[in-house]
Each structure stands twice: as C-alpha cells, then as structure tokens.
Structure 1
Amino acid sequence: MMDTPIRHLSPLLPHAGDMILLDEICSYSDDRLQAVTRIGPDHLFLDENGQLPMWVSVEIMAQAIAALAGCHAHDAGEPVKLGFLLGSRHVDILRPSVAQGSLLRVDVTASTRDQASGFGVFDCVLSLLNDTCDDSQDEGQGEPLVNARLSVFSPPDLDHYLQEQTT
C-alpha cells in the first residue's frame, strides 16, 4: 500500500494534463478513497463568473473511483486500466456552484463490486472544506455539496471487449 497523501496522481489515472481534476489522495483502503481538489484560477471547468458548476462533480467523483482502482493496480504491480462511467442511480446537487479557490473533498465507497465482470457501484460525497487533507477531516465534516451513487465498468480485458463491440 502506498503512503498517503499521494500528490502525483498521473500514474494512477487514465487521464492527462488539465483533465486530472484531483490534487491529492488523502487516504484509501480496499473499498474507500478520500481525495481533495482545490479549484484554481486555471481550472478547466470554471464558468465566466469564476464559479465551478456542480455538474462537474460527477467527473470529480468518477476520477476518485478511477484513482482507487489505480491505487489497487499500483499495489498489485499492474498497469492502470481504462474504466467507463455508466451512469448514476442518484445525484443530489445541494448547491449549484462553488467559487474559485474552494477546497473540495471527495469520498467514494464501493457498495457493490464484481471483479470478474468489472462492474461496480460507488456511493460518493463531495464536500466543501476549510483545510487540506488531515486526520481531522472525517467524511462527516465539511459542507456537503453533492451526493451521488455512480455505476462504473472496467472490463477485465479491454481490447477483447472493444473488439466485441465493433463486430
């Protein structure tokens, strides 16, 4: 298991450059991950008023799920695999946007995971924080912004899966 916090996330995600929306992994375990992101002035999804719309939270949550898979792959000595966001059974947006400079924490917890098929369902919470990752920032702290339950899929053999989809 890697030491946390983890600040260099590109080896753990199938994303690159500005599309990596997470700044730091605070902690992870078998079925949970906690990460933070600070909304900087050059954030890819800021609107014309310097606000981050909360529809972006679904991508932030999906990246946290991907980061958990990336941590597990790293721990097992395997390459990071591509995954797909299938959809959501529930998204509850409690606030429409947050300002540039905001610090957000995302908590993801696997509620259902089938390694053989690559299918999973995760309970996710995005919160507004006052401080960075530390042990005092439990999941219950911070102002909740979005609650969601996301369904994801990461096929065990991506090449075979993609070939099947085209025939």
Structure 2
Amino acid sequence: MSYLSPVEYLPHDAPMLLLETVENVTEESAACGVRVSPQSVLEPFLTADGDLPGWYALELMAQTVGVWSGWHRHQQGQSSIALGMVLGARELVCAEGRFPAGSALTISVKLLMQDERFGSFECTIAADGTTLATGRVNTFQPSAEELTSLFNQESST
C-alpha cells in the first residue's frame, strides 16, 4: 500500500514537521521514518555533531500517532486534519540521550487503548534494528468548541 506524505495527515508545517515518510499504517499501529541528517527535515534541530537530542523523542512519537489518526480520518473520507494534544508520556526513555548522526529512524506506535477522545500508544524509535527510545504517549482529541475556547483564552492573555 502507498501512503501520502506525513504533511497530508498532520497539522504541521516546516520546520515543525519532523517526519519524512509514512512506512505503514494498520488498524492499531503506524510506522514513520526520518533520517538524522543535515539534508533532512531535522536539520534545524541537530547538534554541532549532527545528532538529534533525545528530547525530540516525544515529538517524533506524537507526530507518528498523529499520522495514525490522520490516516484513519482520511480512510473515513474526512478531509480536514484534526488537532490533537499530547496529555503526557510515561516511561519515556532515550537511553543514549541522542539519536546519532546519519541514522535512519523508524518511529513505531501501537494503540493500547482508545475511546472517542483519549488514546494511549506504546511507542518505539529504532535504527538499524536497535531500539533507541521507548515510551507510552497519552493523547486527547479536543472538540472544536474546546479548541476555540483554548485559543481565545491564549490570545486574550
């Protein structure tokens, strides 16, 4: 099966779009990819050594969850991209504290639990068969009214 670019499933634009490819999406999982390279979308975030700091793990995982959600919306014929929110992460570990320069990252998410508005996903980031980061990401799908209220409150402060 072929997939659209991640930008087609996510409410992100450069430079905040951190994924380059959608590798696979199923009913309960998704996998996306990105290369840690000055020639990739990650270029603005690389250290002087060309590594990606480990704290980007959460955003890579969250965007892959977003691709999973966006792909499902697209399959259901919904053309608009929905804004989702990360409630938090549990047991998020990036053992080396970085993603090495030149590595091709595969970010995988697996649905653990979901209802109409909340979801929980087990996530991994791997390169060359080695797991570099793991964690559980919890998400929330706000209603249009909640988003309007949130953004109106932010603009009035």
> What TM-score, normalized by structure 1, do the two folds share?
0.82
SS at match of 2:45: coil
- What runs of 5+ residues in structure 2 fail to find an aligned partner? none
Match in the other structure for 1:136: none
Q: CA deviation at 1:73?
A: 0.9
- 1:89 and 2:74 matched: no
Which of the residues 10, 13, 30 maps onto 1:13?
10
Q: Say if 1:7 and 1:101 are closer, same or farther in 2 by CA, change over 3 A.
A: farther
**Residues 12-55 of structure 1: CA distance to partner in whole angstroms, max 9, x if unpaired?**
11101221111111111111001111112152210122111111
Work out whether residues 53 and 99 of structure 2, in 8 Å CA contact, stay in contact via their aligned partners in 1: yes
RMSD: 1.5
The 4+ residue runs of structure 1 with deviation greater than 6 A are none
Aligned-partner Cα distance in 2 for 1:39–1:48: 13
Aligned-partner Cα distance in 2 for 1:164–1:7: 32
SS at match of 1:18: coil
SS at match of 1:44: helix
Q: Say if 1:148 and 1:25 are closer, same or farther in 2 by CA, change over 3 A.
A: same
Aligned-partner Cα distance in 1 for 2:20–2:148: 34
Work out whether residues 19 and 44 of structure 1, in 8 Å CA contact, stay in contact via their aligned partners in 2: no
Q: Say if 1:71 and 1:7 are closer, same or farther in 2 by CA, change over 3 A.
A: closer
- 1:154 and 2:137 matched: no
Work out whether residues 37 and 50 of structure 2, in 8 Å CA contact, stay in contact via their aligned partners in 1: no
Aligned-partner Cα distance in 2 for 1:7–1:49: 32
Match in the other structure for 2:57: 57
- Letter of the 2:83 counterpart: L
- What runs of 5+ residues in structure 1 fail to find an aligned partner? 130-141
Summarize the alignment of residues 5-44 of structure 1 with structure 2, pairs less than 5 Å apart. Answer: 6=3, 8-41=5-38, 43-44=43-44
Paired positions, count:
147
Q: CA deviation at 1:163?
A: 4.3
Match in the other structure for 1:135: none
SS at match of 1:55: helix
Match in the other structure for 1:103: 104
Aligned-partner Cα distance in 1 for 2:94–2:118: 25
> What TM-score, normalized by structure 2, do the two folds share?
0.87
- Letter of the 1:106 counterpart: I
Q: CA deviation at 1:98?
A: 2.5
Between stretches 64-73 and 14-23, larger displacement belongs to: 14-23
Match in the other structure for 2:47: 47
